[in-house]
Amino acid sequence: MRIENLVFRLVGVSRREAKPDLGCAMYRDMVKLFRKAESSVRIVSGGFPYRLYGSEGIVNALKQALDRRCTVEVITGPEASSRSLKLWSSHGASVYVLSEWPSQHFAVIDGKHVRIEDPHSHDEEKRVQYVIDNFKNVGELNRKFEELKKQAKPLELE
């Protein structure tokens, strides 16, 4: 099953439109997912924008997950925000960078809760995400994460 086709096979999924402001559903859903993490947070993001991933709520949720001894791994595209990547890395997240923009952006929390974005270009402002608890097809996303991780290089801090 292709990752790009997963979003079209989901039932009972919350569909959220993301806007640049931090009061948006995407921001709230991500904070909620990170706060529920018990063992792992795995994120694939193209640009990893600082206005979102560097925000106080997201960073606090990251710190809380790391305090609970969760493993936090991030894979991004080559043009990702170095500011947010350095911030996450400084708190203990493992960060990997791909040579190309990832075609699918998603997060897997504890190997069962997911957040999947509709495919979009790196310059689109409007995005749609799906948040699913206890996702049945999470194995496919975990396999995709591992494939991307093999292709990526660890972040080199300057």
Domain range list for the chain: 3-153
CA–CA distance, 34 with 3 (Å, rounded to integer)? 22
CATH of domain 3-153: 3.30.870.10
Among candidates 105, 112, 111, 108, which has minimal Cα distance to 133? 112
CB 34 within 8 A of CB 41: yes
CA–CA distance, 64 with 18 (Å, rounded to integer)? 24
CA–CA distance, 67 with 121 (Å, rounded to integer)? 34
Residues in the chain: 158
pLDDT digits (tens), the chain, 158 positions:
444 444 433 333 444 444 344 457 778 888 999 999 999 999 999 888 888 899 999 999 999 999 999 999 999 999 888 899 999 999 999 999 999 989 888 999 999 999 888 765 555 555 567 788 888 889 999 999 999 999 999 998 76
Give the pLDDT of residue 60.
Answer: 95
